[in-house]
Structure formats: C-alpha cells, structure tokens
Amino acid sequence: MKFGIVFFPTVGPADKPAQQYFDESLRLVDLAEELGFDHVKMVEHYFFAYGGYSPDPVTFLAAAAGRTRRVRLGTSATIPAFQHPVKLAGKLAMLDNISNGRVDAAFGRAFLPDEFKAFGISMDESKDRFVEGVDAIKRLWSEEDVVVDGRFHQFGPVTLLPRPVQQPHPPVFVTTARSAESCAEAGRNGHHLQTVPNVMSTEELQSRLELYRAQWAASGRTPGTEQIHFSYPCVVDSDGEQARVKGRHDDDRNSAAIHQAVAAWGTTRSDAYPGYEKLFEATKHSHFESKLEQNKLLIGAPEQVRGQLEQISDWFGDDITISLGVHSGHLSFEDAATTMRLMAEQVIPKLGEGR
C-alpha cells in the first residue's frame, strides 16, 4: 500500500476563515513531504461548506509545489464540464512544469445540482461533457495542431503550451462514486481509478474493482500497472477513545455539510444520475458507528487503525493507494499533524506484522 493526504474542507466562514484553513493545510503539506507520504490532493467544489473552500485545486497544488520537491500532487478531482478543455489542460500542464513532473490528474463528473445550475449546464449532459473534455485534454497534452469538433467545444488547430513534463501526459485518473459502467470504461480507456469506499458496500466495491481490473487487462494493458486510489477520513490518537470522540465529531460535521449540499436532490431528477434523488434522505444521519464497524472510517489508536488497514488490504488487495482525509477543518491542525505522524511512525511501518 501507498499512503497520501487528501484535503476536502467541509467548513465555512462561521467555522474557520479560509486563510486559516489554507495556512494549516499547507503546513500539513510540508509534513507530508517530511514524513514520506506519497501524495497530496485537493478536491473541487463550490458554494457550500462541503468542499466550497476549494473552487480551484490547481491553485492550491501550485502553492504546494513551491514548498515540496518529492510528494506527488493530485487533483481529486477537477471537473471538465465546468472549464474549457484548453484552459484546464493548460493549467495542469503548467502545474506539471512547476512541480517538475509530479502531477496526477483526476477528473470527475460532479454531482451537485446547484453547481451545474450556477454554470448554466444541464446535468443530463454531464457524462458526454466529461468524456469529450477528458479526451480533448489528453490530445492537447500529447499531440500538436489539435482540432476538436465536438458537441460542446470546437477549436483548432492549436498546439498547447507549455507541454507537460510527463510524457505522453500526466497519469489520468477517473473519479467514480457508484457506477459499475464507469469503472469498466475507465479500465477500457486505460485510466486509473479513484473512488470513495464510503458510498458502497464492500461486496459492491469488490465487484467493481474486479470489473475494472478485467477491463484494464482486456484492453491490452499489463495487469498490475493500473493505479487504484481510495479516500478515507482518518483520525489517529495514542488514546483510542479520544480518537473516537474526535472522529465522531468530524464525521457528524462532514455529514451535515454533505446533507446541506445535496438538498437540491430533493426536487431534482436526472437520468444521468439514477438514484441520486435519494441522497437528501440518505444523508440526514451520519451513522458513525456503522461506518466505523465497516472500516469506512479509519479511526482509533495506531494498532486499531493498523488492523483496519490489514482488513482493507484483504478485501481489495495490497496494491491500492490510500488517501487519508486528515483535515476537513473541524479538528485542529495539531490533531491532523498527530494523525499523520502516528500513521507514518506507528501504523504504516508495522502493517502485516504478526499476520
């Protein structure tokens, strides 16, 4: 397993000023570099406490690039539907140059009705916009005199500058929440996979990974070269009970934030998002104990979290990468730093001992 840090703020001005959140997060980036974590990531969302402090992850990652030399920099994820492909391709290529080739580019469809409404885009177009946008960005990175004649964008011939450092382009990840078909398409297209285990059962996720890996291999790619990233909220404390108290508070606040953000699904329907109309009701309660029992949250003393990770490895394989959500903004900087240090010093090095 590899381990990194994902930043997904779920705070607003009444909780913590944005400048304080970013200052704390960038100090945690420094710590991730020092402790040997594989990557840092930042999400893209708008308007709500649920991710709204991060409308442009590339800006944050550029700041992170300037204070690190080793750790990889990942979007988690950028939304092609909300940007022109020339603009997004250029920003990510520029970041790849600033960071000397450390970018992992994850793309997602988005799922919040209010975000689509603000951009004047129909949710029913989200998948087609996603596919067209990702294809155009990959071509802009790897080809010259690119001509795009798509449903949503027509331009060219253009040759993107700067060219990305990584050739033919930075690793491309697809973020998927629930769809088995999205997993299959990612494998067929040679895209790496990024998902959140919290939104489906263990059995559902196992079946999706099996499908993804099979399609990766069937497309002629070498089995085992695919990358699979999971994100988990994480709170580790030398006192397991204190970790649970802090973890419950963080999960309650995160659940309240997503409940507010998905409120529009109470009156929204889209064939592109089957079943999402149930989200508003489903997020009314945090179900902390149930999530912890199912290893959907990594919370406890070091030996407890180590046991959780060993179970996750048994379920999904030891070749996955774990992105740790250590700083939503509701716990202190010190709590996040403690989690990272304990993970790096007492959890990760001891994985598999005595098995």
Buried b (16+ CB within 10 A) or exposed e, 295-313: bbbbbbbbebbbebbbebb
Total-model pTM: 0.94
The dihedral over CA atoms of 81, 84, 85, 86, expressed in degrees to the nearest 10, equals: -170
Q: Positive or negative, the Cα torsion across 206, 210, 216, 221? A: positive
Q: Is residue 221 packed enough to be buried (19+ CB in 10 Å), middle (13-18) or exposed (0-12)?
A: middle
Per-residue pLDDT at 255: 93
Is residue 285 pLDDT above 80, yes or no? no
Residue-wise pLDDT tens digits, 140-152: 999 999 999 999 9
Q: Which H or E run contains 355?
A: none
Q: Within 36-179, where are the H helices?
A: 57-65, 85-98, 113-119, 126-142
**What's the pLDDT tens digit per position in 26-42?**
999 999 999 999 999 99
d(CA 211, CA 207): 6
- In a 13 Å sphere around the CA of 62, the CA atoms on its Cβ side amount to 11
Residues paired with 105 in a beta bridge: 172
Q: Which amino acid is at 116?
A: F
Give the tens place of pLDDT for each residue, 207-218: 999 999 999 999
- Burial class (CB within 10 angstroms; exposed 0-12, middle 13-18, buried 19+) of 227: middle
Which has the higher per-residue pLDDT, 285 or 260? 260
Q: Helices 126-142 and 85-98 meet at what angle, rounded to 10? A: 50
Res 173 pLDDT > 90: yes
Direct distance between the N- and C-terminal alpha carbons of the chain, in angstroms, rounded to an integer: 16
Of all helices (H) and strands (E), which one includes residue 123? none
